[in-house]
Chains A and B, each alone.
Chain A
Amino acid sequence: MAEIVAPGHAVSIRGLHYHYPGVPALNGLDLDLEAGSFCALVGQNGSGKTTLAKHLNGLLKPVAGSVAVYGRGTRALSVGELAHDVGYVFQNPDHQIFGSSVRDELSFGPRNLGLSAAEVRARVADALHAFGLEGHAEQPPATLGFGLRRLVSVAAVYAMRPRLFVLDEPTAELDWRSAHELLDHFAALHQQGHTILFISHDMELVAEYAQRVLLMHAGRIVADAPPGAFFGDATALAHSSLEPPQVVRLAQRLRDIGMPADTLTVTAFATAYEALLATRRTHAG
């Protein structure tokens, strides 16, 4: 797999406005995403997350302001041109799956990038392998279960080797294990240098995977911080309708007995609590 070297910004947005007929969606939004970052985009239903995401692959164009992806303004670019750089994974896999077999589904994107037949075959083989779908290559996607269809929809985007992945609630309706498996794939892609932006309501996954959390409210980014600091910002959270994961809330409640309030995972909690007990026992003894 090719190493991606792209210093600077994957995404640069200035003063972005967008409205659907009669309904404002984005209100002067500014955002920079560094190339190679793993960011979570969170916020209430209707806060504009999906609308923002659709600006990154050119499905929507700014009403005012500008959106640049890897230095190129999206206004003049078609969805097809942007697809070289931006892989968009839809909220509902069935909105993007239409191939007659998994292999066919995965070939579609690379073929439309104008790649040679040999290169298309190689990319499809790589994508089948990366997502453990070899055994399903000849099956019609429609006959697969939801979790597998989700993987197919992601593998199809992966086969286009975009530098930036935009994932719109990729784990909604997946069970716990499948959700972690899916995000582990993206953690690996992130390691290889890809930029990841994922929209999620699952604060547990956000705490575990994201380096940076962006909170949207009423069409703007209203908070922007690493997960530890983000979940500690009670004002910003109260502003939206978000709650930190249980682990974080429990650690915050136990702050007075010495739990670090920025504990993000079950393992980190257990380690910190065990240490806390040890200290207390030493003092008591």
Chain B
Amino acid sequence: MLAIEIRDLYYRYPALHPDVEAPHVLRGIDLAVEPGEFVALMGHTGAGKSTLCMALNGLVPQATGGAIRGTVQVLGQSTRATPIARLACQVGLVLQDPESQLFNATVEQEVAFGPENLGLPVDEIRARLDWALALMELDDLRDRGPTQLSGGQKQRVAIAAALAMLPQVLVLDEPTSGLDPRGKAEVFAAIERLCCEREMTVVLATQDAAQVAEFAQRVVVLSQGAIVLDAPPTEAFAQPELLAQAGVAPPQVSRIAAALNARMGGALAFTRLDEAERSLRALARPAHG
């Protein structure tokens, strides 16, 4: 069974004025994701990334209303027909704005909230809580209130709360935009590990191409509600013009490759720092003979 199967999905939000229809924010999305895949969702602001994320746990259209066409199946269930509360047990969603989803008095309560609501035994709740807090490096903050946290710390709490549910599918909407670079790398690495070890399927909307090149298996680029590119990072980031049109910056090293190719007519292609170093070192080596 596919983890995610979307067919010909069109969606528009409810009209703001009775006589003017809102435009489609998703137009003809087809997407199939295998269990355990790590998919990065990229695209300009307003491309439809957040809406697509919310369609994966049923918030779109169950909470948002609006008009939807096509099908979205997650773990074999229709996200239109299955109650959000039931989907939430298997599909974790971390929103762009962590403040919109933190409401408990302490970090510990926040992270334990989901497992408690699953009706799990106390030991199991405790174990999941400790695990998720450790994974997001929140041990020291467990007794803090959400208002005493920085923006990046709030993001880590929101991710820990989602992880504590042990979802089979984890959807994250720009979860690291407020994190410092090392925090960001740690969160990406932790998520990738879960992907490998637990066969958790991950869909991550992000602008961070360098991290995507490092961790994701697949890049899906949205532009104006449609998928314009779906390829492994190496292939995707070698198409700077297409990406530029979609408002996506390839990793800086890929941009260096493109700039050097434009100047010197070469065919350099790299997406990671190590590859770039190897390749540019080799090119600068004096020719033999």
Contact = CB atoms under 8 A, between A and B. Distances in A.
Given A43-B180, A203-B181, A273-B260, A247 B151 contact: no
Given A246-B210, A246-B253, A274-B263, A241 B276 contact: no
Nearest to A22: B148
Interface string B120-154: 00000000000000000000000010001111110
Nearest to B17: A143
B259 A242 contact: no
A263 B248 CA distance: 23
B259 A267 contact: yes
A175 B260 contact: no
Interface string B162-194: 000000000000100111111111000000000
Given A173-B177, A274-B264, A23 B148 contact: yes
A169 interface: yes
Interface in A39-74: 43-46, 50
Given A23-B148, A147-B46, A246-B251, A276 B284 contact: yes
Contacts of B99: 92
Contacts of B276: 246, 250
Interface residues of B, number: 49
Contacts of A140: 16
A2 B174 CA distance: 39
A143 B45 contact: no
Contacts of B280: 250, 254, 273
A253 interface: yes
B205 to A, nearest CB: 10
A269 interface: yes
A251 to B, nearest CB: 10
Contacts of B144: 23
A147 B45 contact: yes
Secondary structure of the B side of the interface? helix
Contact of A280 (B96, B244, B284): B284
Interface in B247-289: 247-249, 251-253, 255-256, 259-260, 263-264, 273, 276-277, 280-281, 283-284, 286-287
Nearest to A256: B281
Interface string A139-161: 01001011110000000000000
A20 B277 CA distance: 45
Contacts of A176: 207, 247-249
Contacts of A242: 180-182
Contact of A284 (B43, B181, B287): B287
B97 interface: yes
Given A249-B273, A270-B260, A145 B45 contact: yes
Contacts of A175: 43-45, 207, 247-249
Interface string A112-154: 0000000000000000000000000000100101111000000
Given A44-B180, A176-B249, A204-B252, 20 more contacts: A44-B182, A45-B152, A46-B152, A91-B151, A92-B97, A140-B16, A147-B46, A175-B247, A175-B249, A176-B207, A177-B247, A178-B44, A201-B179, A201-B181, A241-B182, A246-B276, A249-B273, A254-B284, A270-B260, A274-B264
Interface of B: 16, 43-46, 96-97, 99, 144, 148-153, 174, 177-185, 207, 210, 244, 247-249, 251-253, 255-256, 259-260, 263-264, 273, 276-277, 280-281, 283-284, 286-287
